[in-house]
Homo-oligomer: A and B are copies of this chain.
Amino acid sequence: MTNRLQLDRFLPYRLSITSNLVSDRIAHAYESMFGLTIPEWRLVAVIAEVDAITQAEIGERTRMDKVTVSRAAIALVGRGLLERAPNESDKRSHLLSLSAAGRELYALVAPKALELEARVFARFTPAELEAFTTMLRRIDAAALEED
């Protein structure tokens, strides 16, 4: 029989399985260790990298929905981890940056994140990981094309 589909070999399916397995692990760890959801943690990470950024930019970088970004930002501001400064050049938006507490938290979370990553990916060689991420990026590009 030609052209037979086996779910087990169907790449979108495999990708989803793997992503969920990894995400679940990480999500539980973040939640229990720092009380952070994945979107919240992503905001912290992105903002730590750039210092000041608008929500729209965060959405673009992380491909998170703007609603998701909005809620995560509100939650983090509420917890004193994030600060909002008025954006002079566009008064609709705010510039988000980490508060002192936010930077402290980040200093705790980042190594933990790398450790979690290492625990799952330790068994792979740098070359394998490199090839893998390259594939992921190429797939991203393919999925985004012609829509």
Contact = CB atoms under 8 A, between A and B. Distances in A.
A122 B139 CA distance: 10
Nearest to A21: B143
B18 A19 contact: yes
A111 interface: yes
A140 B19 CA distance: 9
B133 A121 contact: no
Nearest to A45: B7
Contacts of A5: 45, 110-111, 113-114
A19 B19 contact: yes
* Interface size class, chain A: 35 or more
How many protomers of this protein does the assembly include? Answer: 2
Given A19-B19, A46-B7, A14 B136 contact: yes
A75 interface: no
A33 interface: no
Closest 3 CB pairs of A and B: A19-B19, A21-B143, A5-B110
29 contacts: A3-B110, A5-B110, A5-B113, A7-B45, A7-B46, A7-B62, A8-B61, A10-B117, A11-B22, A11-B120, A12-B23, A12-B26, A12-B117, A14-B137, A15-B22, A16-B19, A16-B23, A17-B136, A18-B19, A20-B63, A21-B139, A120-B142, A120-B143, A121-B139, A121-B142, A122-B142, A123-B142, A128-B135, A132-B132
